[in-house]
Amino acid sequence: MLAVQGFYNNGVFEFKQSPPVKKGKFIMLFTEEEPPKKKIMSKEESLRILRKYSGSIDRDIDIEKERDEYLNERYGYLT
């Protein structure tokens, strides 16, 4: 038994290398799909993050307030 890797895309088989036989039977085994493409951040999300953090270097930072805001965003309002 021989193994040859390749891809299947819309009814087309593409082999990484030529099979070393001229004629023969084969079994097609689909091992995994291609990984999903990375999600691109939407324009709205980019603007929200920009507004949230713009000017953050120049301002006076209240560490306790920043920590509380982070915890509230992450886990909901603490009681």
Q: Is residue 54 part of a domain?
A: no
Q: Which domain holds residue 5?
A: 1-30
DSSP string for 2-60: ----EEEETTEEEESS--S-SS---------PPPPPPPPPPHHHHHHHHHHHTTTTTSP
Q: Is residue 18 part of a domain?
A: yes
Q: What is the pLDDT of residue 4?
A: 82
Q: Is residue 2 part of a domain?
A: yes
Q: Is residue 26 part of a domain?
A: yes
Q: What is the pLDDT of residue 55?
A: 67
Positions of the chain with pLDDT lower than 70, given as ranges: 34-36, 55-59, 77-79
Q: Is residue 71 part of a domain?
A: no
Q: Is residue 39 part of a domain?
A: no
Domains contained in the chain, number = 1
The predicted-structure confidence for 38-55, as pLDDT tens digits, reads as follows: 778 888 888 888 888 776
Q: Is residue 64 part of a domain?
A: no
Q: What is the pLDDT of residue 43?
A: 86
